[in-house]
Structure 1
């Protein structure tokens, strides 16, 4: 009965939807497939995963009047794979064939050797391709035979894998019990795969062959204005609509080895919608010249990948000789973004210089029609005549990261004078302040927004929980946190010494924030929170100033040691699995390292000595932003509640 439910309620419903609503053909293959050229699918055996009948039809349709041997050679290259390569390496090779076409050699009419690159897909007109969903397809591996719930073929290529579960089952089961097993037992099936889908009729997620389950994501919206619905129908509409499917397949998949290990990355819903909004703006003949807008996607939303998707789609679909200048305000951020582009195979500074070493070098690169240039705003240090500039080309697109920080002052003016006809788009993880007219003047209005709340709902960003510990002090001023947040926001807007402004504006509240009773409570909270989720990862505690940071370190260390003793006593009384769990927790707590990280200032050593702390602070500008891929918890003490505050940006 369970199998019947899974089949009728999920598999058949899914394929019926693909057929009736999205124009896919539908075939049921379970125990009904016959083999051979005239068989159900044209396969010679269940080891074959490419439907060569449909592939050859597409090759002949898109590449006219070639000898049969040319089509046969193209089919061979698509079907064959290297036994010595990994699943991912084979998948990468096939993806390049799919996008670039298959290069074949054949003998011409007069005996000459001719070369042609054959198209497998029509990326410009999706409906020219053949879409077919096959249910219950048997595939034979080296040792095992597996039946796949749904395979989505486009021109005979198995681009879509769908694993279905009964409506009451968790999607994680589909990943762990089926998808992971299939990768081990029939890996050759995934050599051509583009998208992996897991669904139970109610919910569905998509990912890639390298993605862990935690990186599979939902598809909640068909446009940015939608509120967002978590259901399988929305995902099918958004991803399997023929036009969308070919767009995602062609323009929203990258292979990234910037971390040292190659992974396959599929755009998330907000990236797909946001990038296409920018493409639409670029193609809009009525837009304000030079302004592409502000691309506000909150922290943790993958803006670097969005930049890659945007720039590569422009080069591939719009064409021309666009130059993208990616501009940041910090060397580490410049390096981080460049590494993402290089890791995705988009550019290589060693082969084609694209990272200027000086202002003069930048001017030289901008005159050479480079596809990409990566620089910091500080390299626009040459005064430029706006009537001349580095170049007067109008096919230059300047992507400014953290746009609200880089459009002010002489350097920004130099950049606009150097590139007087360029188009500017501002990428930022920060909502613009209500009085930030300069940013909008340079870039225009928002072209895409993906705020913090949506990011949390989509699990792109971990939630921030705010728990005020001021109430127990009996503070009469109920809006203290709002006042602090407003003052901190003003400090970021005004160009004055931050430490002096903090001291002046917060001196009335500082003693409340740093009261011993309050800090003790927060230290206990931190130890309790972190040791409760001790298997999750690393943690950061952000304090209001350096002295408080060191005081918190001492208090946390004290309560940490107390917690170790409590667990040790519990361990003595425990047995079985509980005893093993507590043993591992004790080992973790003893091995956990803690460190105080603060930036430097004049006279700080003496200041710490007055408080009795024997410590020399270490320089680290945490406020400027950082990446902690394995961090799962950050504790922020003080009123950094507003989404636009720089600490929130850093997180």
Structure 2
């Protein structure tokens, strides 16, 4: 599931003090991360991507090795693969699943996008969700050791969620920026999603700061949440208010009137 060359090249760029063997060790340690279930593994991997990979160089103290540069998006390798072929075994026979689009960052698949033809009456976004939530989890669960986010679209409707989000909680991203007018035209949904979520710095911000795993001990409910666009912009305002208050040292915080949007259904 990993693009090894991209992973190794990022380590070489961001950790020039590491040798070739050390980079290989980090890659293998990351590749072999496991848990009691695919979801538990995904949670562990997500924490490593956010916080870094613990590694002990020879004769040196342990340190955290960053796997993504969140502060400098240009330092990462973004790769989008169309018709990504994944093999699996079913009753001893090799078979294939082919997700429409998979987004990789530094060789790690972070988001799957499933597309349906709007002209096909039977191929709607629900069938795209079902493809990910049911068939892909059943057949190619090893993809979801790494892949956190999911997007479904038929060209008219485009919705964002996680790989464990129930269908009714997938949602449109109707604003690129908070001051923009609300996008209501169906065909605008895809453009708003591309510009509002998949611009590299925005994508990394959402990935790092706005994904929540419900239980830190990997409970059996396997609930995982990503923010909706009103929550994203409201939280940004609150964060900026806190920063400005600290800088001013006045102890005052501006209130964000977005309470109705904070509740996650």
Normalised TM-score (structure 2): 0.86
2:47 equivalent to 1:96? yes
Match of 1:71 among 18, 23, 26: 23
Aligned length: 251
1:173 maps to which residue? 127
CA 1:113/1:280 → structure 2, altered by over 3 Å: closer, same or farther? closer
Q: Find the residue that maps to 2:45 and give its secondary structure.
A: helix
Residue 180 of structure 1 and its aligned partner are, at CA, apart by: 2.1
8 Å Cα contact 2:112-2:151 kept in structure 1: yes
In structure 2, which of residues 212, 218, 225 is the aligned counterpart of residue 254 of structure 1? 212
User: 1:142 deviation in Å?
Assistant: 2.9
CA contact (8 A) 1:142 1:186 kept: no
Q: Tell me if the contact between 2:237 and 2:256 (Cα under 8 Å) persists in the aligned partners.
A: no
Cα offset for 1:116? 3.1
Unaligned runs of 5+ in 2: none
Which of 239, 248, 256 is 2:197 aligned to? 239
Provide the secondary structure at the position in 1 that maps to 2:175: coil
Tell me the C-alpha RMSD between the 2 structures: 2.3
Structure 1 residues 242-641: aligned runs within 5 Å: 242-257=200-215, 261-284=221-244, 289-299=250-260, 301-303=261-263
CA contact (8 A) 2:132 2:163 kept: no
Does the Cα contact within 8 Å between 2:152 and 2:158 map onto a contact in 1? yes
Give the match for residue 219 of structure 1: 173
Structure 2 residue matching 1:97: 3-state secondary structure: helix
Matched, 1:136 2:44: no
How many Å apart are 1:261 and its aligned residue? 2.9
Runs of 5+ unmatched residues, structure 1: 1-48, 306-459, 461-651
Cα shift at 1:179: 4.4
Aligned-pair distance for 1:100?
Answer: 1.5
Out of 80, 100, 106, the position equivalent to 1:155 is 106
Q: Matched residue of 1:278: which SS?
A: helix
Distance 1:277 1:302, change over 3 A: closer
Q: Secondary structure at the match of 2:143?
A: helix
Per the alignment, in what secondary structure is the counterpart of residue 293 of structure 1? coil
Distance 2:244 2:129 in 1: 42
Are 1:165 and 1:200, in contact at CA under 8 Å, matched by a contact in 2? Answer: yes
Instruction: Please state if 1:124 is matched with 2:124.
Output: no
1:81 and 1:90 in contact (8 A); partners too: yes
Larger radius of gyration: 1
Work out which structure has the larger RCO, using CA pairs closer than 8 Å and 6 or more positions apart in sequence: 2
For residue 260 of structure 1, report the CA deviation from its aligned partner: 7.4
Classify the secondary structure of the residue corresponding to 1:88. helix
C-alpha contact (below 8 Å) 1:175/1:213 kept by paired residues: yes
